[in-house]
């Protein structure tokens, strides 16, 4: 199942708010429609958001073809700022928009039609690169997976969160293909249940053995000696290796550390933010209170109950055993390793 499809100048996004009970796509023909889909989590997962935003820039360019070149570039910049305003934590969004705007800026003397064609090719390249990066993450990550591994994961870092294959689930898929994976424990991931609705569905579709647990069961299962390793994705990794991921990841890392269980983060190079020295600088998105007050459309607590709904938390680098990237596995000291990673051509 593809999360992002580009076809006939239309961006088709798999509506992940409806999964797994309904499979439907939302057709986007304007950059504002793409922005709405990102904000409302119709498309989610840092890499998938980045790919969608890249196509959003293509749609913006096609909307502004009749503008003068200067006006075209101004409108394109504003479209990019709108896309970037939708989700503040996922760095792939900013990376993709900035990359697309630079491609336009580098060719601003060309006709608006030519710029739009250049941007379309750039977005397709980002899309195809993401799939290749995920498979490379899987190839590197499987090297640290023991034979007969039982792996715990949190939220969804699979094909649905990327252009295809997945980051954390990319490692899990590769381990399954090589016959060394026994099974996966997937945390449900409150409040929107991405683990329950998306991760278990993905793995079940691929016939990968998966057991769903509530988030609060993780420590008990670790204490029973059932887990060999934890692998999660990331929405932003600071230069020192601190990693922001779906809320609940930090708790899982603390539990893994206490039980001496390896804790890995899997992400492509585009998730590493070289402009952020540490996780203290990462902006944590706070989402609407109804995501806690409701499960799907069913109210479970009264409206006058106060809520706090941060969408992400930050796991400090000292709790991370290794960061699995498309260019290899990084180990502490992470800042030195990340500098080495980015020095590669």
Query: How much is the pLDDT for 344?
Result: 66
H-type alpha helices, the chain: 31-39, 46-63, 69-84, 91-105, 112-141, 168-177, 194, 200-205, 218-223, 249-258, 290-293, 334-343
If asked whether residues 110 and 14 sit together in one domain, one would say yes
**Do 97 and 220 have their domain in common?**
no
We report the CATH number of the domain holding residue 191 as 3.40.50.10470
What range does the domain containing 42 cover?
4-135
Domain boundary among 135, 157, 177: 135
Domain limit, last residue, from 135, 165, 186: 135
CATH code assigned at 37: 1.20.120.420
* Domain count within the chain: 2
pLDDT at res. 343: 76
pLDDT digits (tens, 9 = 90+) for 34-78: 999 999 999 999 999 999 999 999 999 999 999 999 999 999 999
Same structural domain, 254 and 232 = yes
User: Do 26 and 76 share a domain, yes or no?
Assistant: yes
Pair 215, 265 in one domain: yes
Whether 129 and 217 map to the same domain: the answer is no
- Domain check: are 84 and 176 in the same one? no
Pair (230, 319) in one structural domain: yes
Summarised one tens digit per residue, pLDDT across range 295-332 is 888 999 999 999 999 999 999 999 999 999 999 999 99
Catalytic choice (130, 235, 273, 313): 235
| Residue after which a domain boundary falls, among 135, 160, 190 | 135
Query: How much is the pTM?
Result: 0.95
**Does the annotation mark 273 as catalytic?**
no
Burial class of residue 117, CB neighbours in 10 A (0-12, 13-18, 19+): middle
């Amino acid at each position: 199942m593809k999360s992002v499809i580009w076809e006939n100048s239309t961006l088709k996004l798999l509506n992940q708010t409806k999964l797994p009970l309904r499979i439907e796509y939302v057709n986007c023909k304007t950059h504002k429609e793409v922005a709405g889909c990102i904000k409302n989590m119709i498309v989610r997962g840092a890499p998938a958001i980045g790919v969608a935003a890249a196509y959003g820039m293509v749609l913006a360019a096609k909307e502004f073809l009749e503008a003068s070149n200067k006006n075209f570039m101004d409108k394109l910049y504003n479209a990019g700022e709108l896309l970037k305003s939708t989700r503040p934590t996922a760095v792939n969004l900013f990376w993709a928009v900035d990359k697309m705007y630079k491609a336009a800026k580098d060719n601003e003397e060309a006709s608006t039609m030519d710029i739009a064609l250049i941007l379309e090719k750039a977005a397709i390249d980002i899309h195809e690169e993401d799939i290749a990066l995920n498979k490379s993450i899987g190839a590197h990550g499987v090297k640290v997976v023991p034979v007969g591994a039982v792996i715990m994961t949190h939220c969804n870092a699979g094909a649905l969160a990327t252009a295809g294959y997945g980051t954390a689930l990319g490692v899990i898929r590769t381990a399954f293909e090589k016959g060394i994976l026994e099974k996966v424990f997937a945390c449900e991931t409150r409040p929107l249940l991405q683990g329950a609705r998306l991760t278990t569905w993905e793995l079940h579709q691929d016939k990968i053995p998966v057991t769903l647990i509530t988030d609060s069961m993780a420590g008990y299962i670790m204490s029973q000696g059932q887990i060999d390793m934890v692998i999660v994705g990331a929405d932003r990794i600071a230069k020192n290796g601190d990693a922001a991921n779906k809320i609940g990841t930090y708790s899982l890392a603390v539990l893994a550390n206490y039980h001496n269980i390896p804790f890995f983060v899997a992400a492509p190079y585009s998730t590493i933010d070289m402009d952020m020295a540490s996780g203290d600088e990462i902006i944590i998105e706070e989402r609407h209170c109804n995501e806690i007050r409701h499960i799907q459309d069913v109210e479970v607590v009264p409206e006058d109950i106060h809520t706090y709904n941060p969408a992400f938390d930050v796991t400090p680098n000292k709790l991370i055993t290794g960061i699995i990237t498309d260019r290899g596995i990084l180990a502490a000291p992470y800042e030195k390793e990340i500098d080495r990673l980015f020095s590669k051509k």
